[in-house]
Structure 1
Amino acid sequence: MNLHELKRSEGSTHRRKRVGRGRGSGVGKTSGRGQKGQMSRSGSGRKLGFEGGQMPLIRRIPKRGFNHASAPVIRPVNVGDLNRFDEGRVDVEALRASGLVNGNCDGVKILGEGDLDRKLTVEAHAFSKSAREKIEAAGGQCETIQ
């Protein structure tokens, strides 16, 4: 099957409803809006989340915590993921190139999940205590960027 052979299913398309075009159309005079009320007027509409005066869902559910808009974004990288690099120096650019760090971020923190089986000099903004121990136990070094 090719794109030019695709067709819509039978009955899936409908003609546009032409409202306000006389009594014989079935939606003449008030155009299906009824007689009076908020939604019968032109330009009517309710704001998003309005529930007819009932307390809106967004105000009924509990809220916890706070996310500061300008808080620094720190990307985590596990020690076990560093095994993909050859022995030598690993910096933030190398982590980006390998896909371990993506998107905008203010810093990279190396975490201690996994094991390291090669000697690496790792350059990052922060290290967890266990990550620092594992890198140094493998004969590597940890260099902190400011």
Structure 2
Amino acid sequence: MGSTALEITPTLSIPDDELVERFVRASGAGGQNVNKVATAVELRFDVAGSPSLPDALRDRLLSRRDRRLTDEGVLVIDAQRFRTQDRNRQDARERLAALITAALVVPKKRIATKPSRAAKARRLDAKRGRSEVKRGRSQKNQWE
């Protein structure tokens, strides 16, 4: 792959020198080949120290409760879905791009609301009704 950057959007891309790729042996089935070839990819991206990310996006990525994010703010993506190193590398990059794209969406602010007067009245009427039903079950009223 001769690309110089991982493009997220037309205006946002991450240079290759910010991505650290390590090739390791994949776990699982694979026959005799599995012990000889390092096809799995471990992609590391320093979210906290990346100059390519806008501050708001960085904060959203770091505030996610994602187990792939280390305490130092480094995102680690393991890709071993495919049998070739190149395809796993591509898969890891696609997953990183998808994660960053998802964090681009700014969550909508929640607007606190109050129950209406009619809703409060309905709730209190229902409580009164339940109270009457329960009072009707008491021992005192059983023998009268």
Shorter chain as normaliser: what TM range?
A: under 0.3
More helix by proportion, 1 or 2? Answer: 2
Structure with the larger RCO, 1 or 2 (CA within 8 Å, 6+ apart): 2
TM-score computed with the length of structure 2 as normaliser: 0.21
Give the number of the structure whose alpha-carbon radius of gyration is greater: 1
